[in-house]
Structures are given as structure tokens and as C-alpha cells.
Amino acid sequence: MSTICVYCSSSNAIDDAYPPVAEALGRQLAARGHALVYGGGAVGLMGVLARAAHEAGGHVTGVIPSKLQDREGIAYDADELIVTETMRERKRIMFSKSNAFIVLPGGFGTLEEFMEVLTLKQLGYHDHPIALLNADGFFDTLTSFFEELREGRFTREALSELVHVVPTAEAALDRIRAVAPTDGTPS
């Protein structure tokens, strides 16, 4: 069993195709006995995900900076809510509590969080599985840009050496294996 950190959109205005993916991930994650760590908000895919995991009996931990509580809402679906002073502290706690990462469609915040766990893995700070849930081809442009980086020798590893790019929640969870917890030191 793993504690899975999920990074995802805080927007309520995105296409209707995406909330069912977050809902399926929350439900299936809980059904497989995994715990969820996420950004603690009630908005966007974050809210859908947490609600689904909670309703399916999963343990949900939300981690949110005090400044964002008004903007991203209070996580009524979290069994545990950790309020931090800073964004950095939020990310550090989310990272240190988790031993696998799943990235759903999202905006700048999601991409920032994804790039951090990706680069930490590239540099050997952790060896936990990362799944990029490419729902509806959402990440196709990003993954082809990463391929260009590889072809231009800006990166040594191909993305596929570091990240499982998968089409569904089920496939993402199939890639997650029970692994040792991180040492809590992201950088």
C-alpha cells in the first residue's frame, strides 16, 4: 500500500471530460487501499478527487498554505488538514508523506509540482514512481516537447525512463508499487 500524492487542477472552469478522471482516480485509489495526499483545496479536480477518495473510504490528507484557504476552499473531505505558512512547506510536506506521485491535468501550479518531482527523480533525490495521467491526450504537447529536449541533448534521460505516461486512472494505479517512504528532504 502506498501513500499517493496527486497533483491536479484547482480550476472549476475546465472541460467536462476531466472531473470524471479525477473521480475515478480518487475512488480506485481508495479501493486499492492507498492513502491520498493532495493540495487540500475544495476546488477543481482537487475537490472532485478528495471527495471521491473520502467517499470510497480512503484516508485523505490535505496540505494547504493559510494564504490559499480562501481561494482554494477548505477540504471538508480531508481526514487530516495540514495548514502551512508557505508554499515551499506545503510542497515539502506533500513530498515527504508520499511514496508515489500521480499528475492529472492542471495549470501552472500542477506543472510546477510535476517538474519538481521529475527533476528530483532525475537527480537521484528519490526513486518513487511518477505517473502522468494523460487523460484525453492532455499532456501530448508537453511530452512531445520533452522528446525534443531529449533529441537536442538538453536532457539525458527520455521522459519514459522517469515517468509512466498512462491514459487512465487504472493504468496509473497499476504502475504504483509499494515502496519505502521518502526521507522528507526534497531539495
**Residues found near ligand AMP in the complex (CB under 6 A):** 9-11, 39, 41, 68, 72, 87, 90-91, 106-110, 112-113
The minimum distance between CB 43 and ligand AMP, in angstroms, equals 8
The sign of the CA dihedral 92, 97, 103, 105 is: negative
Closest CB to ligand AMP among residues 119, 160: 119
Closest CB to ligand AMP among residues 104, 160: 104
Q: How many CA atoms lie within 13 A of 110 on its CB side?
A: 21
Q: CA 16, CA 149: separation in Å to the nearest integer?
A: 32
Closest CB to ligand AMP among residues 17, 178: 17
**Cβ-closest position to ligand AMP:** 109
Question: What is the per-residue DSSP string for 41-78?
Answer: -SSHHHHHHHHHHHHTT--EEEEEEGGGHHHH---TT-
The minimum distance between CB 123 and ligand AMP, in angstroms, equals 18
